[in-house]
Chains A and B, each alone.
Chain A
Amino acid sequence: MSADPIISVKNLEKHFNDGAVHALNGVNVDIAKSEVLVVIGPSGSGKSTFLRCLNLLERPTSGTVIFEGTHLTAPRTNINVYRRRMGMVFQHFNLFPHMTVLRNLTLGPTELLKKSTGDANKKAMQLLERVGLADRADAYPSQLSGGQKQRIAIVRALCMEPDVMLFDEPTSALDPEMVGEVLDVMKELADEGMTMVVVTHEMGFAREVADRVLFMDEGVVVEEGSPEDIFEHPKSERLQSFLSKVL
């Protein structure tokens, strides 16, 4: 692996409800630049919590998250600045329903990156073009299909020109026939060298696109390795039983 990791996670713990729920129990992961890391595991194993701790949408109970050399978890860090460089895509899209598609895409660049409206529009239109949705720029989110919404959500994150993209089950809320169009966009991103952390139940995607797969259960990383290691030669019993259910 090359040079320093872009994200380094050390001894990450996250408790909910005053310690009644231990969602993460000491997770250690380094993510390299341009790596595609896919996180799999049963429901409730802590995948979302892990992903959301990376941009501090969830505040870790203890442990550190270092992003491009900065301790995000340090008390003095202004997280808002670093979140601009970490795009996030949600299961339920979370597009802003009161804005047109174009405004959804340009809000961040104009207000946070202080781009001119012209520049922001131009960039947004270029990206829309690439995902085949340029003709929907003036539509409102409610007028789009699920697959279109998620492609727009990806573009919204990309308009901030992030260094990392975080995906939390981006295709789980989609009708089956729309899953492909979203995965295609993600594949393209991966091919271009985007660093990606993807929580997904799409084992086909994990096999084909992942550089490394993490298998989580009960708040710990049980096993990690190349797609081949994980899918063809699972070592732990927990992973074997998980795979037998999902494959």
Chain B
Amino acid sequence: MAESFAKLKESFIFNFIEGARWKYITNGLLVTLKVTFFALLLGIAIGVVVAMIRSAYDQMKDEMKPGFGKTMLTVLNTIARLYLTVIRGTPVVVQLLIGYFVIFVSTTNTVFVASMVFGINSGAYITEIIRGGIMSIDPGQFEAGRSLGFDYFQTMRFIVIPQAFKNVLPALANEFIALLKETAVCGYIGLMDLTKGGDVIRGRTFSAFMPLIVVAAIYLALVVFFSWLVGKLERRLRSNER
């Protein structure tokens, strides 16, 4: 027992302390959090816009008169649906490779590329979350807004989206947690994230167990921590339900 513990300690020192290799882990963690954070922000921005286009089309296609506005909305809706189909129908790793080698070829800023790709990817899933949130709002809210003279988008902006957003906050927080894990494939484009950091140590020290288990433990700790926060948030939202 004491012997194996001493061995673990030795392995830990060898893998992380010698040559300051722990920096691969801390720098990698920072990159992982950065990519996750920016991807979520971009994803929410895309999600709100696309969800509004999709809902607007579904709710207004019958009442709108033919003309520029309707044509515009139909075109936007088609683009939105294409986007949702393509993004949800292809693996995120492939999207990442396409983003790096095909679309953003001129930049070497891999954090930027990964944030963009994961943001565009999660935008598709967040669209569905927000659409669900919009549909969960009492139609009377919408009618009250329209009856005051607000147009469709103003009603969305002032009345529906703020309420929908509050309803989907827990789902968005869960999306953040999912993203945190999904970004582990960033190494495919040479980004030194947490996973890649652990893998680099493995390559240097030729010991797989210690670096990979530590990486896994860090992900797990983050996920458990953020899930706990989401739980708190959910209880909080429920308790001051107005």
CB pair B149–A108 under 8 Å, yes or no, is: yes
B139 nearest CB across to chain A (Å)? 9
Contact A90 B143 (CB under 8 A): yes
Give the interface of A toward B (CB within 8 A): 55, 57, 59, 75, 80-84, 86-88, 90, 92, 94-98, 107-108, 111-112, 140-143, 156-157, 160
Whether the pair B158, A111 counts as a contact (CB closer than 8 A) is yes
What's the least CB distance linking A78 to chain B, in Å? 9
How many residue pairs link A and B with beta carbons under 8 A? The number is 63
Interface of B is mostly: helix
- What separation, in Å, do the CA atoms of A177 and B138 have in the docked complex? 26
A/B interface sample: 13 pairs, CB < 8 A:
A80-B149, A82-B149, A83-B147, A83-B149, A95-B144, A96-B163, A98-B163, A107-B158, A111-B154, A112-B149, A140-B242, A142-B242, A156-B148
Select from chain B the residue with minimum beta-carbon distance to A140: B242
Alpha-carbon gap, A198 to B129, bound state (A)? 39
> Is B63 on the interface with A (CB-CB < 8 A)?
yes
Total chain B interface residues with beta-carbon distance under 8 A? 21
Closest beta carbon of chain A to B140's beta carbon, Å: 4
- A95: which B residues are within 8 A, CB to CB? 144
Flag if B151 contacts A57 (CB, 8 Å).
no
Decide: A80 and B151 in contact? CB cutoff 8 A: yes
Question: Min CB distance, A123 to chain B, in Å?
Answer: 15
What's the Cα separation between A49 and B163 when bound, in Å? 27
A97 to B140 Cα, complex, angstroms:
12
Q: What CA separation (Å) do A86 and B151 show in the bound complex?
A: 15
Distance A191 CA – B76 CA, assembled complex (angstroms)? 50
Q: Is the CB of A57 within 8 A of B149?
A: no
